[in-house]
């Protein structure tokens, strides 16, 4: 993707993300219509749908040749990564949105021929926008994020995980994960994959490990984490497939191999 187009798309995407976030913020105290999807805890609200629709309409109008891969079904049936694809999670952390009214994000990744070119993660209630363009560094509210420290060891790391580590899990052997959560300095769980990526990029988390995320959960985050020298793979070290559900490890490069080789063993 040439620089001029990348800059133009970035400016446009940023404007839309901020506008959509502003709308959510203004309506945060209004009663919500909440539905469930795959199970009773898999929530979706009108606001998730309206926000995705907002992006779908604008992308269609301004970039008719681009595709949209979104969570709530207003995008395209994307089967290949050719061309330019907007990968959008209109609200990442819907449970937080519903119950906590904070700690959720709008996540927009723009990929061209499979390469992540632009990432935006907007922490809506905090009004903090994390952004990156490939090769141009990552930013938090327009202030450049420093590269991750040159080295990091697991014993002083803070690792984000969700409850999978505590439960019987069909994807990963519990024994290794139990050793891992004891080995690290501490664990955290924020309930928004996009924010957890942003926090890894910011260096306030050293890693985020989880067993099942969709492309829209990770698309923007991967671009942003890359720009500070972080690394993202599946939990077995294989490359992330942007058309499928993946296990995910995004982290400081110094702890990546150790986590995979010594702690995570996928069944
Ligand atoms: C969810 C959040 C959550 C993660 C789930 C995701 P959603 O996204 O990122 O933190 O643990 O796996 O599905 O549904 O709130 O957009
Ligand atoms: Ca969801
Ligand atoms: Ca999500
Ligand atoms: Ca979502």
Determine the distance from the C-alpha atom of residue 161 to the mean position of all C-alpha atoms in its chain, rounded to a whole number: 14
pLDDT digits (tens, 9 = 90+) for 35-94: 999 999 999 999 999 999 999 999 999 999 999 999 999 999 999 999 999 999 999 999
Distance between CA atoms of residues 146 and 153, nearest Å? 19
Query: CB atoms < 10 A from the CB of 236, how many?
Result: 13
pLDDT digits (tens, 9 = 90+) for 152-189: 999 999 999 988 878 877 788 889 999 999 999 999 99
Closest ligand (CA of 247): 1
Mean pLDDT of 200-224: 98
CA of 145 to the centre of ligand 4 (A): 26
- The CA–CA distances, whole Å, from 104 to 23, 38, 101 equal 14, 20, 8
Tally of helices (H runs) and strands (E runs) in the chain: 7, 14
**Nearest alpha carbon to residue 194 among 221, 212, 166, 222:** 221
Pocket of ligand 1 (CB under 6 A): 71, 89, 92-94, 162, 191-193, 213, 217
Q: Which fold has domain 154-262?
A: D-Maltodextrin-Binding Protein; domain 2 (3.40.190)
pTM strictly above 0.90: yes
| Domain ranges (residues) in the chain | 3-144, 154-262
Token reading at 266: 């996928």
**Nearest alpha carbon to residue 120 among 245, 253, 228, 222:** 222
**Nearest alpha carbon to residue 187 among 171, 201, 205, 168:** 205
Angle formed at CA 83 by CA 80 and CA 88, multiple of 5 degrees:
75
Q: Is the ipTM of this complex over 0.95?
A: yes
Give the closest residue (by CA) to ligand 1 atom 16: 92
Looking at ligand 1, which atom is closest to the CA of residue 212?
A: 12
Half-sphere exposure of 95 (CA within 13 A, CB side): 10
Looking at ligand 1, which atom is closest to the CA of residue 210?
A: 11
Higher pLDDT, 267 or 30: 30
Q: Which fold has domain 3-144?
A: Fructose-1,6-Bisphosphatase; Chain A, domain 1 (3.30.540)
Mean pLDDT of 204-213: 97
pLDDT digits (tens, 9 = 90+) for 110-141: 999 999 999 999 999 999 999 999 999 999 99
What pLDDT is stored for residue 172 in this prediction? 84
């Amino acid at each position: 993707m040439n620089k001029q187009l990348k800059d133009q798309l970035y400016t446009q995407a940023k404007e839309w993300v901020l506008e959509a976030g502003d709308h959510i913020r203004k309506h945060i105290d209004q009663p919500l219509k909440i539905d469930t999807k795959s199970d009773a805890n898999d929530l979706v609200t009108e606001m998730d749908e309206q926000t995705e629709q907002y992006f779908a309409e604008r992308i269609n109008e301004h970039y008719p040749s681009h595709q949209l891969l979104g969570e709530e079904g207003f995008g395209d049936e994307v089967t290949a990564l050719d061309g330019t694809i907007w990968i959008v999670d209109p609200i990442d952390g819907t449970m937080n949105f519903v119950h906590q009214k904070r700690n959720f994000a709008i996540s927009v990744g723009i990929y061209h021929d499979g390469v992540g070119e632009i990432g935006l993660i907007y922490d809506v209630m905090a009004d903090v926008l994390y952004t990156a363009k490939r090769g141009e560094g990552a930013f938090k509210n327009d202030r450049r994020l420093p590269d991750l420290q040159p080295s990091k060891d697991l014993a002083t790391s803070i690792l984000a995980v969700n409850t999978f580590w505590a439960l019987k899990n069909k994807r990963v052997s519990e024994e290794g994960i139990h050793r891992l959560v004891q080995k690290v300095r501490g664990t955290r769980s924020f309930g928004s994959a996009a924010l957890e990526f942003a926090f890894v990029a910011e260096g306030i988390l050293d890693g985020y490990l989880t067993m099942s995320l969709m492309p829209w959960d990770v698309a923007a985050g991967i671009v942003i984490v890359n720009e500070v020298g972080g690394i993202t793979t599946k939990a077995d070290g294989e490359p992330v497939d942007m058309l499928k559900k993946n296990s995910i490890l995004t982290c400081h490069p110094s702890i990546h191999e150790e986590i995979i080789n010594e702690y995570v063993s996928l069944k």
